[in-house]
């Protein structure tokens, strides 16, 4: 049996080049006639999924999610794909999608603009993950962009009405549409990794936690795992219903945007533990009672305590962090005698290292942490990891982090974001900084010797592929670092990210305030870049 297929003429789009994590644009851009279809056709052409192989499709539930999934299902059938697996209601968190793909699919399409706001006047996004469950590498996305810029037609099948809300198989002969519970397989995976008994006992013993799903995808996952399987009281999960516009919020788990959670964890009668996740469920923020854990520290603490968790009891093969992430985990890796890889920003760069078994844990400063259990960063996984460590050590989050600093030293770290800068001004900042790089090594700036300064280039140790121009770095002999790079996830102008880090090794000074400890380094970075005069911005939009 074959479906009736319509071949629709389209004009190519030159702006369909995926960034750090898929193609992200304003929702209104995706609503242009043929825009979504053009990109999906390009993806399917490059993915070349054979009949009999499965394609996983799901998204974070934002505005346009359901319509886009309908279109993708029809286009999949129009392109000869015979098996599509969709999360019920079109919902799948990014890590859950990664897990489903790894169960034997050829790949998956994930609809999300992650931490970007959603809604009719927000952002939408789409990305492709390959059979390993991870974001497609640059070699793939470059081909997709070329294809999208050259397409003249796309193929859609006329399907009978189908139901995305009914779990089960709808068989059209030429297409098997399989709607699955979005939570079940993921929750089962988590039970195989962590000591649920110990976490359950911790909670039963009065340990109080709060999880803020920010009206995004993790609500149903957190309710099932934290409340139903681990026995946390009903109401532990707040903002737990996924909404198409995330309740008007900005689903980015940080101190600025997760305000409900922050207010509670820093207020009177604060719970012992707080966590939040982002739009598509791959980011995490961890809070203790009146205590914030930086994502870079979180990765280091998890690495140092990994053997307390059943899945990692045998130790770690290695770890990796993105270049702008603080070097806190490097110190742990050195102590453990395992390799530590430094990759460009974006989860796709961890894929080969994970597949090759060279790393077990990895993370980014942007609230992303993960392991070899899937090929995406994983918000709830990080929360469960922390709960497992807290249960095993019998200490509070704050005690665990302070003990870590005392043992390994502390990497003071902050990030300044300048959002929506005119692209020309942003390029000028980078050009100005780049022009000085060659002359910096050997100079003494602010009392520190510059050891090296470069535009970060990464050679993948597994396949040898090279990714150049991944951010400007000024590295000092004492471990201090200043990094400038342009964001690849924004949809309005250009976002400049400036990262500042310095290391303090002695026990007493590890308790200094972040602001004053980093003040000199920040001042130096701002002066060298001349960012204020090029962008006419006296202060950053967001400080993380
Ligand atoms: C940002 C972060 C990066 C992260 C990416 C996707 O990219 O810095 O670390 O991997 O977002 O995160 P950029 O290019 O804007 O700095 V999310 O949760 O899409 O999936
Ligand atoms: Co995300």
Burial group, residue 374, by CB count within 10 angstroms (0-12, 13-18, 19+): buried
State the distance from the centre of ligand 2 to the C-alpha of 465, rounded, in angstroms. 25
CA dihedral sign, ordered 221, 232, 377, 242: positive
pLDDT at 21: 83
CB 517 within 8 A of CB 504: yes
pTM: 0.93
Q: What is the pLDDT of residue 222?
A: 98
What is the mean predicted confidence (pLDDT) over 490-495?
87
Nearest to 280 by CA among 59, 25, 132: 59
At residue 462, φ and ψ (nearest 5 deg) are -95, -50
Q: What b/e string do you get for 419-433 counting C-beta neighbours within 10 Å, with b at 16 or more?
A: bebeeebbebbbeeb
Q: What are phi and psi of 25, to 5 degrees?
A: -145, 170
C-alpha dihedral over 348, 354, 360, 365, to 10 degrees?
-10
96, two tokens: 């859950």
- CATH class held by domain 5-182: alpha beta
The single residue of 93, 112, 114, 326 carrying the catalytic annotation is: 114
**Is residue 129 in contact with ligand 1, taking CB distance under 6 Å?**
no
d(CA 215, CA 118): 11
Residue 256: pLDDT band (50, 70, 90) is confident
Which ligand neighbours the alpha carbon of 135 most closely? 1
Find the mean pLDDT for residues 355-373: 98
Query: Please, what is the Cα angle at 93 between 59 and 73, to 5 degrees?
Result: 30
**What class has domain 186-408?**
alpha beta
Among 419, 382, 433, which Cα is nearest to 493's?
419
Which residues of the chain form CATH 3.40.120.10? 5-182, 186-408
Residues of the chain with CATH 3.30.310.50: 410-543
Q: Which atom of ligand 1 is nearest to the CA of 366?
A: 9
CB 368 less than 6 A from any atom of ligand 1: yes
Query: How high is the pLDDT of residue 453?
Result: 97
pLDDT at 509: 60
Q: pLDDT (tens digit, 9 = 90+) per residue, 510-520?
A: 677 777 789 99
Contact 182, 95 (CB under 8 A): no
Whole-number average pLDDT of the chain: 95
364 within ligand 1 shell (Cβ under 6 A): yes
Is the pLDDT at 81 greater than 70, yes or no? Answer: yes
List CB-based neighbours of ion ligand 2 within 5 Å.
114, 278, 280, 282-283
Nearest CA to ligand 1 atom 1: 489
Is residue 507 very low, low, confident or very high in pLDDT (cuts 50, 70, 90)? low
The values of phi and psi at residue 255, to 5°, are -65, -25
Ligand 1 atom closest to 345 (CA): 9
162 CA → ligand 1 middle, Å: 34
**What average pLDDT score do residues 222-249 get?**
95
What's the confidence (pLDDT) of residue 210? 97
The sheet with strand 123-130 has its strands ordered as 23-26, 123-130, 107-111, 54-59, 83-91, 176-180, 168-171
Mean pLDDT of 6-32: 92
> The domain 410-543 belongs to what CATH superfamily?
Alpha-D-phosphohexomutase, C-terminal domain (3.30.310.50)
Q: How confident is the model at residue 457 (pLDDT cuts 50, 70, 90)?
A: very high
Phi, psi (deg, nearest 5) at residue 379: -65, -55
Nearest CA to ligand 1 atom 16: 487
What pLDDT was estimated at residue 500? 97
Angle at alpha carbon of residue 524, lines to 521 and 530, rounded to 5°: 140
Give distance in angstroms: CA of 279 to centre of ligand 2: 6
Task: Give 48's contacts (C-beta < 8 A, 6+ positions apart).
Answer: none
Which two three-digit tokens encode residue 286?
A: 């961890």
- Indicate whether 299 pLDDT > 80: yes
Contact at 8 Å (CB) between 21 and 489? Answer: yes
Distance CA 225, CA 194 (A): 12
Contact in structure between 476 and 461 (CB atoms under 8 Å): no
Does the pLDDT value for residue 40 go beyond 90? yes
Ligand 1 nearest atom to the CA of residue 346, by list position? 10
**Which residue do the tokens 């205590």 mark?**
291
**Does 410 contact ligand 1 (Cβ within 6 A)?**
no
Which DSSP string corresponds to 461-490? Answer: TTT--EE----EEEEETTS-EEEEEE-SS-
Please check whether residue 382 is in contact with residue 284, taking contact to mean a CB–CB distance below 8 angstroms. Answer: yes
114 is catalytic: yes
Kind and range of the H or E element at 415? Answer: strand 410-421
Name the closest-CA residue to atom 5, ligand 1. Answer: 346
How remote is the CA of residue 368 from the centroid of ligand 2, in Å? 8
Is pLDDT above 70 for 508?
A: no
How many residues are present in the chain?
544
Say if residue 198's pLDDT is above 90.
yes
CA distance 79 to 154: 9
Tell me how far apart the alpha carbons of residues 421 and 236 are, in angstroms, rounded to a whole number. Answer: 39
> How far apart are the C-alpha atoms of 306 and 317, rounded to whole Å?
11
pLDDT tens readout for residues 129-175? 999 999 998 899 999 999 999 999 999 999 999 999 999 999 999 99
Of all residues in the chain, what percent carry a pLDDT higher than 70? 99
Model pLDDT, residue 183: 97
Confidence tier at 446 by pLDDT (50, 70, 90): confident
Q: Are strands 123-130 and 23-26 parallel, antiparallel or unpaired?
A: antiparallel
β-pair partners for 336: none
3-state secondary structure of 492: coil
- 404 half-sphere exposure, CB direction, 13 A CA radius: 27
Average pLDDT over every residue of 307-324: 98
507-542 burial: b if 16+ Cβ within 10 Å, else e: eeebeeeeeebbebbbebbbebbebeebbebeebeb
Average pLDDT of span 11-39: 92
Answer for the pair 528, 436: CB distance below 8 angstroms, yes or no: yes
Closest ligand 1 atom to the C-alpha of 279?
18
Q: Is the CB of 114 under 6 A from ligand 1?
A: yes
Ligand 1 atom closest to Cα of residue 19 = 14
Block residue for tokens 């709808």: 170
- What's the token pair of residue 148? 């999208």
* DSSP helix/strand/coil, 143: helix
Q: Which two tokens stand for residue 16?
A: 């369909």
Q: Whose alpha carbon is nearest atom 8 of ligand 1?
A: 366
487 lines ligand 1 (CB under 6 A): yes
How far apart are the CA of 352 and the centre of ligand 2, in A? 20
**Could you give the residue ranges of the DSSP H alpha helices within 242-360?**
259-265, 295-304, 328-336, 351-355
């Amino acid at each position: 049996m074959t479906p009736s297929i319509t071949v629709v003429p389209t004009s190519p789009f030159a702006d369909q080049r995926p960034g750090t994590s898929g193609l992200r644009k304003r929702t209104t851009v995706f609503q242009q006639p043929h825009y979504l279809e053009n990109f999906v056709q390009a993806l399917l052409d490059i993915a070349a999924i054979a009949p009999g192989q499965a394609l996983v499709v799901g998204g974070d539930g934002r505005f346009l999610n359901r319509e886009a999934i309908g279109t993708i299902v029809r286009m999949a059938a129009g392109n000869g794909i015979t098996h599509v697996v969709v999360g019920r209601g079109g919902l799948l968190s990014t890590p859950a999608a990664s897990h489903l793909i790894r169960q034997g699919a050829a790949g998956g399409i994930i609809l999300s603009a992650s931490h970007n706001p959603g809604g009719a006047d927000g952002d939408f996004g789409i990305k492709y993950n390959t059979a390993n469950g991870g974001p497609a590498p640059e070699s793939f996305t470059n081909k997709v962009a070329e294809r999208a810029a050259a397409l003249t037609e796309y193929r859609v099948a006329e399907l009978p009405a189908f139901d995305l809300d009914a779990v089960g198989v709808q068989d059209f002969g030429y297409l098997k549409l399989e709607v699955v519970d979005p939570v079940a397989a993921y929750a089962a995976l988590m039970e195989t990794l962590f000591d649920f008994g110990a976490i359950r006992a911790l909670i039963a013993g009065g340990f109080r936690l709060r999880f803020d799903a920010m009206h995004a995808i993790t609500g149903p996952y957190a309710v099932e795992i934290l409340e139903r399987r681990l026995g946390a009281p009903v109401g532990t999960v707040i903002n737990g219903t996924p909404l198409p516009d995330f309740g008007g919020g900005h689903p980015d788990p940080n101190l600025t945007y997760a305000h409900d959670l922050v207010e509670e964890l820093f207020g009177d009668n604060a719970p012992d533990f707080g966590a939040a996740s982002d739009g598509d469920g791959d980011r995490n923020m961890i809070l203790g009672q009146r205590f914030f854990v930086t994502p870079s520290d979180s990765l280091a603490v998890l690495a140092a305590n990994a053997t307390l968790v059943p899945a990692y009891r045998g130790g770690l093969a290695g770890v990796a962090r993105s270049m702008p992430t603080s070097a806190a985990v490097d110190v742990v890796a050195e102590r453990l005698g395992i390799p530590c890889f430094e990759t460009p920003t974006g989860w796709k760069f961890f894929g080969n290292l994970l597949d090759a078994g060279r790393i077990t844990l990895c993370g980014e400063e942007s609230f992303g942490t993960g392991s070899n259990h899937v090929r995406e960063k994983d918000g709830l996984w990080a929360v469960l990891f922390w709960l497992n460590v807290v249960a095993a050590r019998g200490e509070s989050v704050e005690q665990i982090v302070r003990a870590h600093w005392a043992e390994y030293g502390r990497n003071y770290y902050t990030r300044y974001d300048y959002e929506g800068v005119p692209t020309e001004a942003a390029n000028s900042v980078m050009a100005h900084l780049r022009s000085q790089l060659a002359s910096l090594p050997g100079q003494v700036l602010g009392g520190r010797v510059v050891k090296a300064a470069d535009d970060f280039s990464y050679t993948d140790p597994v396949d040898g592929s090279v990714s150049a121009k991944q951010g400007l770095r000024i590295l000092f002999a004492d471990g201090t670092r200043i990094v400038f790079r342009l964001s690849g996830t924004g949809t309005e102008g250009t976002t400049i990210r400036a990262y500042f880090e310095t290391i303090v090794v002695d026990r007493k000074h590890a308790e200094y305030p972040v602001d004053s400890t980093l003040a000199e380094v920040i001042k130096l970075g701002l002066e060298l870049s001349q960012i204020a005069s090029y962008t006419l911005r006296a202060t950053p939009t967001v400080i993380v």
